[in-house]
Chain A
Amino acid sequence: MLQHNKLAIFALLAALPLALLVALASGPVSVDLVDAVSQGWYSQSSDAVIFWQLRLPRAILAILVGAALGMGGAAMQGMLRNPLAEPALLGVSSGAALAAVILLYYGAAWKSGWLLPAIAIAGAFGAVAAVWLLAGRGASAGRLVLAGVAINAFLSALIALALNYAPSMFAMQEVVFWLMGSLANRGWDQLLLALPFISVGVICLFLARNYLRALSLGEDTAASLGFHSRIFPLLILFGIASSVGAAVAVAGTIGFVGLVVPHLMRPLVHQDPAQLLWISGAAGALLLLMADILVINFVGAQELRIGAVTAFLGAPFFFWLIVSARRGQWL
């Protein structure tokens, strides 16, 4: 069993660079990778520009966003002690989405490459802060979820309202596509904007890892083990708002990664909520990279949105979850 787990983790980590290579080699134009790399960053040849300015940032962004979503999901499930939790419950995604939608609504999004993600990150922080304030100081996990559901419902209503009164079909289409999530046409601008937020978020979650462990035994026991019940939940909320907020801000809402990945990885780390953070980060990165490879290689009139791909992967997972719960084999 132990060997089996280690092998699976090793395979997962080994698959990541392989997937990265495939992602870099994928695209509508065939590019000589070795040639492009050797020409360097400043080369003006089309191969080098495609590699350095389009494919590389997109692939790295897929890894970063996937890792943030996977890790955020693991932290969320650990904090709420519930395998069905995901970061979207805190309003991170809908907060970012509403901010983005308002910007798209006024057609101001394209004035600069970083304006929309920056506003969206602020939206994510705002939504999480609202959930935290609504739940009250030292709120139990149950009350946090309830507050999250309430804030989410309100934000969704506002998004629906914005769609309802969209100034043009074009604006509406843009909003809808943004909500489906995509990594297309993202470059270094978005990557460099998201990177510090995701890093700060990851550090916060790292600092809270032992709290998540202690929390396996409940809030009372965690408190008796020396984990302050006010500081640590706040650290996790901030970490999720920062990392997942930045991920959603640059890539749009991408569902199910935060839910499915920690679930699948949990048996591999003997259900340890702290190790689950890392392995979920790695697996989330791999999943999103592979989903993006699928998106890039999909031939069709319209671009396939990555949020649609992950939802297609996620929904059957839910079916399987219910069926296995019915058999009494809860993961």
Chain B
Amino acid sequence: MNEVDRKLTVDCESLELTRGLKNVLREINCTFKPSELTAVIGPNGAGKSSLLQCIAGVLTPESGQITFDGEKAHKLPATQRARLGAYLPQSEMPAWSLSGANLVALGLLPWGRPRDRETRVRRAMAMVDAQAFADRPVTELSGGELRRVQLARLLVGQAPLLIADEPTAALDIRHQLQLMQNFRRLADMGKTVILALHDLNLAARFCDRVLLLQEGVLLAGGTPQAVFTPALIGEAYGVSCKFHWRDGIAEFVPLEVL
């Protein structure tokens, strides 16, 4: 089946993950549906990245399982799984000074060397306003510029599942907005999008669903209106705060540390 048009539902059933002595994920149950933009939020060390890495196939949970459309993800051939889900880690330093376009093309590795490679690379770079970096060595780009090239790498394969760990970090406001609009558009096109985010305003404005993690436990999951309450956020982050809602846009005001 053509991955470009495929819709993918991801199910996590009682995921457990330990790293060293720490329970990073405990009894996580959640579903990610096509056309849904989900934000995974929570304080540092809550297990956001670990959850994303489990779904992307980078980490293997000790127990529980992840299914893609009912099929066990760990039973899928590695290449097949990579074609279904693309992942961008929180920090990804290129080891070599590849050109921007060559870095983006790495996102097509699960497909071998497709014939329309250059067109796809160019299109993906245009989506995140990164065409200007096609021929520049990535080691000479600024943090935000590099991030945009990496985002193009995430998008180039047109996988039905897109996972990005704090994609907006290091970006200026314009590119944060542009990026979130892009993810919104991709979700509207039928992609399943999962983002770890720290910016609660962006999460509230663009996402359909929010998962709130705290110390590896799924504290709450639901619409932004349901999760972004002073009580829940206060409990998870240990701060007092206020939310002002106006036309579906939240304004988050952190008050003080509890």
**Which A residues are closer than 8 A to B by beta carbons?**
81-82, 210, 213-218, 220-221, 223-228, 266, 270-273
Contacts and interface: CB of A to CB of B under 8 A. Distances in A.
B64 to A, nearest CB: 19
A220 B53 contact: yes
A226 B80 CA distance: 8
B78 A228 contact: yes
B94 A217 contact: yes
Interface string B94-106: 1111110011001
Interface string B67-109: 0000000000011111101111100111111110011001101
A213 B153 CA distance: 13
B78 A221 contact: no
B141 interface: no
B78 A226 contact: yes
Given A223-B58, A226-B81, A226-B109, A217 B87 contact: no
A217 B103 CA distance: 8
A73 to B, nearest CB: 15
Count chain B CB atoms within 10 A of each CB in A216, A223, A225 and give the residue with the most: A225
B79 A224 contact: no
B144 interface: no
B57 interface: yes
B96 A266 contact: yes
**Top 4 nearest A-B pairs by Cβ distance?**
A226-B82, A81-B95, A224-B87, A271-B96
Given A218-B89, A220-B58, A225 B95 contact: no
Nearest to B85: A224
A233 to B, nearest CB: 14
Contacts of A82: 95
A224 B96 contact: no
Contacts of A273: 96
Contacts of A227: 78, 109
B156 to A, nearest CB: 11
26 contacts: A82-B95, A213-B106, A214-B106, A214-B109, A215-B95, A216-B94, A216-B96, A217-B92, A218-B92, A220-B53, A220-B87, A220-B89, A223-B56, A223-B58, A224-B57, A224-B82, A224-B85, A225-B109, A226-B78, A226-B81, A227-B78, A266-B96, A270-B99, A271-B96, A271-B98, A272-B102
B110 interface: yes
A301 to B, nearest CB: 46
Given A225-B106, A225-B110, A216 B95 contact: yes
Nearest to A141: B95
Given A224-B85, A270-B102, A213 B78 contact: no
Nearest to B55: A224
Nearest to A217: B92
A224 B110 CA distance: 10
Interface string B144-176: 000000000100000000010000000000000
B57 A217 contact: no
B109 A213 contact: yes
Given A214-B109, A271-B102, 9 more contacts: A217-B153, A218-B89, A218-B93, A218-B95, A220-B53, A223-B56, A224-B163, A228-B78, A273-B96
A221 B82 contact: no
Contacts of B107: 225
Nearest to A211: B109
Contacts of A223: 56-58
A221 B81 CA distance: 13
A206 B79 CA distance: 18
Contacts of A217: 92, 94-95, 103, 106, 153
A213 B106 CA distance: 7
B150 to A, nearest CB: 8
Nearest to B99: A270
A271 B95 CA distance: 10
A218 B94 CA distance: 7
A216 B107 CA distance: 12
B89 A221 contact: yes
A218 B96 CA distance: 11
Interface centre among B78, B99, B153 (most CB of A within 10 A): B78
